[in-house]
Structure 1
Amino acid sequence: MNSWHELPHAAFDLETTGRDPQTARIVTASIILVNGQGEVLKHHEWLSAVEEDIPAEAAAIHGISTEHARAQGQPAAEVCAEIAGVLGSLFAAGIPVLAFNASYDFTVLNRECERFGLTPPAPAPVIDPYILDKQVDRYRRGKRTLTALTEHYGVGFENAHTSAADVMATIGVARAMAGKFPVLHREATLLHEAQVNWAREQAASFQEYLRRKDPSAVVDGTWPARS
């Protein structure tokens, strides 16, 4: 049995208009496919002529202004359809898609598909280094952002918060983790199923912690996409 990291795998990232995945709109997207050695086989890139103004706070992070997006981007519905199509083809072929904090990106995509009357891809198998890191090194102190993980695992990371750079960093971190933790050497579908449980358990633990101060705190552990 070959583990997921020894076979072709892809990674997916979105840059958007905001933090809430239920309302955020896609600005840029990247999907990169690599082989079992981490060498790039295919690279997909999109810029959306987003229908809503990009807030200054979001533009400051990813560097895309409303004016640039509308002047240079594809129609938003077209971008959404193409992203969903590429991801759907990967999943249909059994190729795992890596996404850091996957529940954000796949929820954004699902909501965008709904807005445009499109059918979103069923996200499986998905591999999420954010969930993996919290599981295999749960007592490590410090941040667990993508930038923090690249530093911790010694992965190069330039141009953070551009979708292509974030995709390559996600691949690098996931492969570094697979090299360090044999427990992650599994078939992609089995690792996906494990992460569904791990995400739920991690959310429940965090919710329990928050409720020490706020009894009404709720942490959604649905993964890899929220309803």
Structure 2
Amino acid sequence: MTWPVGRMAAFDTETTGTDCHHDRIVAASVVTVGGGAQPARQDWLLDPGIDIPAAATEVHGITTEKARAEGTDPATAITRITEMLESLLQDGVPLVVFNARFDLTLLDRECRRHDLVPLAVRLPRGELAPVIDPLVIDKQVQPYRRGSRRLRDVCAHWQVRHDGAHSAAADALAAARLAWRLGHVYPRLGAMDLHPLHQLQVTRAAEQAASLQAYLRRKDPTAYVEPAWPYIPHTPSSPEGAAP
């Protein structure tokens, strides 16, 4: 075993919605565990600068009023989150993110929205790595399993404890536990060095996206599923170029 018994930093967000290009971060957590050291946790509550839709509040319980009264200025919080993740990755600590494509793209767009240097740009060669995405790994090892692939359901399938859905800290910790479990259940994955594991997920995420796209195109010839992982790089033609 290598990475499953080492230090891991899990990252999760709660948001104003499900559009990683235009929605905003409302809460975020980084939970660092393993490696024979004491767990550490950092939480942020943000004032996203826009109203939090009722549907989002129903998910995470954070209202517009609470965010405005207690939340940190978003540029300040996004700066601190990005600096912390940069420091961990520079130290060789892998970043565990369930459905990384969403959270890490959202963080990238938040940085750009506030004229901050995005996480990937801060890292050597502009590579946001190493990342461990239990969702990508779960789909890789059991591609034909029926049922939901939401975090709580994947945790239930692998008998991993989840202390409460839709709390950034609880979801981050559950993702770390899930990564640990998958690395032990599949020792060949657990024995991989972090960067080959990262590259394997890049390949598998693209394959998974292509498979889903082919399925969707049976009914909709224009269906598109983004293959990029662990985040969607910003381009001049990216959806975030349009006004929110």
TM-score range, shorter chain: over 0.9
Q: Contact (CA 8 Å) 1:107, 1:226: kept in 2 or not?
A: yes
Residues 199-225 of structure 1: per-residue CA shift (max 9 Å, x gap): 001100111111111111111110011
Q: TM-score, normalised by structure 1?
A: 0.96
Q: 1:86-125 to 2 correspondence within 5 Å? A: 86-122=84-120, 123-125=128-130
Unaligned runs of 5+ in 2: 121-127, 234-244
The match for 2:208 is: 202
Residues 24-60 of structure 1: per-residue CA shift (max 9 Å, x gap): 10100000111236x6532110000120000000010
Residues 54-112 of structure 1: per-residue CA shift (max 9 Å, x gap): 00000100000010011011111100000000000011111100000000000110000
Q: Post-superposition shift, 1:182?
A: 1.7
User: Which runs of 4 or more aligned residues in structure 1 lie more than 4 Å from their structure 2 counterparts after TM superposition?
Assistant: none
SS at match of 1:74: coil
1:43 to 37, 41, 63: 41
2:220 & 2:113 partners in 1: Cα distance?
34
1:73 to 60, 71, 74: 71
Q: Contact (CA 8 Å) 1:32, 1:40: kept in 2 or not?
A: no
Q: Contact (CA 8 Å) 1:11, 1:33: kept in 2 or not?
A: yes
The match for 1:58 is: 56
The match for 2:164 is: 159
Unaligned runs of 5+ in 1: none
Q: Post-superposition shift, 1:15?
A: 0.3
SS at match of 2:14: strand
CA RMSD of aligned residues (A): 1.2
Pairing 1:16–2:21 present? no
1:196 & 1:63 partners in 2: Cα distance?
33
SS at match of 2:39: strand
Equivalent residue pairs, number? 225
Amino acid corresponding to residue 202 of structure 1 in structure 2: Q
Residues 90-135 of structure 1: per-residue CA shift (max 9 Å, x gap): 1111110000000000011000000111111122110000000000
Q: Contact (CA 8 Å) 1:13, 1:164: kept in 2 or not?
A: yes
% identical equivalent positions = 45
Q: Post-superposition shift, 1:180?
A: 0.8
Residues 164-216 of structure 1: per-residue CA shift (max 9 Å, x gap): 00011101111111111123121111111110000001100111111111111
Q: TM-score, normalised by structure 2?
A: 0.89
Amino acid corresponding to residue 88 of structure 1 in structure 2: E
Q: 1:209-224 to 2 correspondence within 5 Å? A: 209-224=215-230
1:182 & 1:168 partners in 2: Cα distance?
21
Amino acid corresponding to residue 136 of structure 2 in structure 1: I
1:139 to 141, 144, 150: 144
Amino acid corresponding to residue 49 of structure 2 in structure 1: E
1:138 & 1:60 partners in 2: Cα distance?
31
Q: Post-superposition shift, 1:149?
A: 0.8
SS at match of 1:49: coil
